[in-house]
Structure 1
């Protein structure tokens, strides 16, 4: 028999909180259809609850799903990179695409590997298709090179000892000594000039917070006169600095 306390529980509140919990523990924005499947709720119920949660600020809609909303300013993200971390990252990536007009990316170093966290496309300049995963191409991408440059020397050397420097294009740096020199003596931001894919230059800056080593980047298609690497780095640094402060505050 149910206790008196259990009899007074409100089912709709429990269902809404279950949706928030799923979003908070997801490493990417969650489509509403996926929420319905994960929660076991009907599509109609899920859409109605999500609409209410968005209206009240507990969730926020993105083109590819929902993330946590502004009602969670102090949510402490777990080490795996979910919850508010995803929301903060998506907000920053949206800002970058609005400022620069090109696609924005964020990667993070976790468990000894470089992982892609999220991408936001610009309307007229969509993403570079990642035909080789970032864990196998960090040496050829601005995203990966920025993270490698920010790692302690021992971790950097360990990473490179475990990952061959494959030649993805004629411009890829495949010589270990040359790559190390670039990582150690860069200007504080990283660049790959057609090293991952022909026709694009990518720029990345660091995002460093307690327990977080990440990089924020853009890909600039050639021949459109959009941004110089120096201009892109300046734009990225401002957004990356704010993101690092937010992530640091979230973990307090």
Structure 2
């Protein structure tokens, strides 16, 4: 296995392919051994051979893609944990993709638990700060399409009452300003979400607090904006988590 891995690593260093003799020399393997392992790796799809040169195969590329994806997940989780600890609140990361709300990562602690998803987040974008923030970043047609599929419905006494009222609220939301929500999704909870510029994809980072700590929400949101501004550029949170 170790010898096969060395061959894979050697092939990966040659964008335009490499012959068996060169790979054997670079890995310190006897040529017959290298040939045998290379044939096995080709058979299993980890390498492909073209005109005597060896290239990474689809199986190896899938592994590479999976590894990169896992690294991005880890980076996002670590970043949210940093913000969680710095501000002392649960932190959420969500995107709008293919017409749906997707909460990609949540960072919480026993002392600062996240909001329980008691009503499907995808169907209640109108009621929570995450959804309102994401919808505010969409064009008018995309907003209406979403609300045609998931009409406004009151889930607490504080929830916006109809599509028209929600659309007016979204129209008044200035670009890149935070969205605040107080007990519209869950009684006893207040939330804030800030939009993130991620190319053409709508994204947001959000926080929540118990309603009895509502006086902390504005300051915590400002701190979150500062944290995001300082770290987001260097960490380059990926849309394709």
Q: Structures share a fold, TM > 0.5?
A: yes
The alpha-carbon deviation at position 83 of structure 1 amounts to 3.7
* Structure 1 unmatched runs, 5+: 26-67, 69-74, 76-81
Match of residue 159 from structure 1? 146
Partner of 2:188: 199
Question: Does residue 179 of structure 2 align to residue 149 of structure 1?
Answer: no
Tell me by how many angstroms 1:138 deviates: 0.8
Tell me what 2:10 maps to: none
Q: Residue 142 of structure 2 aligns to a residue in which SS? A: helix
Q: Which structure: larger Rg? A: 2
Q: Which residue of 2 aligns with 1:104?
A: 91
SS at structure 2 position matched to 1:107: strand
Shift of the 112–244 alpha-carbon distance from structure 1 to 2, 3 Å rule, reads: farther
Count of paired positions = 190
Residues 100 and 164 (structure 1), Cα distance of their counterparts in 2 relative to 1, 3 Å cut: same
How far 1:24 sits from its partner (Å)? 5.8
Match runs of 1:81-160 below 5 Å: 82-160=69-147
Give the SS at the match of 2:212.
coil
- Residue 23 of structure 1 deviates from its aligned partner by 9.7
TM-score (norm 1): 0.64
Q: Tell me which residue corresponds to 2:34.
A: 4
Matched residue SS, 1:140: coil
Deviation string, structure 1 residues 112-138 (Cα, Å, up to 9, x no partner): 111111111134111111011211111
Instruction: Find the residue that maps to 1:197 and give its secondary structure.
Output: coil
Partner residue, 1:59:
none
Residue 81 of structure 2: SS of its match in structure 1?
helix
In the TM superposition, what is the alpha-carbon distance from 1:151 to its structure 2 partner?
1.1
Q: Which residue of 2 aligns with 1:32?
A: none
**Residues 175-196 of structure 1: per-residue CA shift (max 9 Å, x gap):** 2122112212135111110011
How far the C-alpha of 1:103 sits from its partner, in A, is 0.9
Q: Is the 8 A contact 2:133 2:194 kept in 1?
A: yes
What TM-score, normalized to structure 2?
0.67
Are the equivalent residues in 1 in contact too, given 2:72–2:237 (CA < 8 A)? no
Q: Please give the residue correspondences for 1:1-252 in structure 2 after superposition, counting only pairs within 5 Å.
A: 4-7=34-37, 25=66, 82-186=69-173, 188-224=177-213, 228-241=216-229, 242-243=231-232, 246-247=235-236
Q: 1:211 to 1:8 in 2, by over 3 A?
A: same
Deviation readout 1:163-216 (Å, 9 max, x if unpaired): 111211111112212211221213511111001111010100012212432110
Q: CA RMSD in A?
A: 3.4
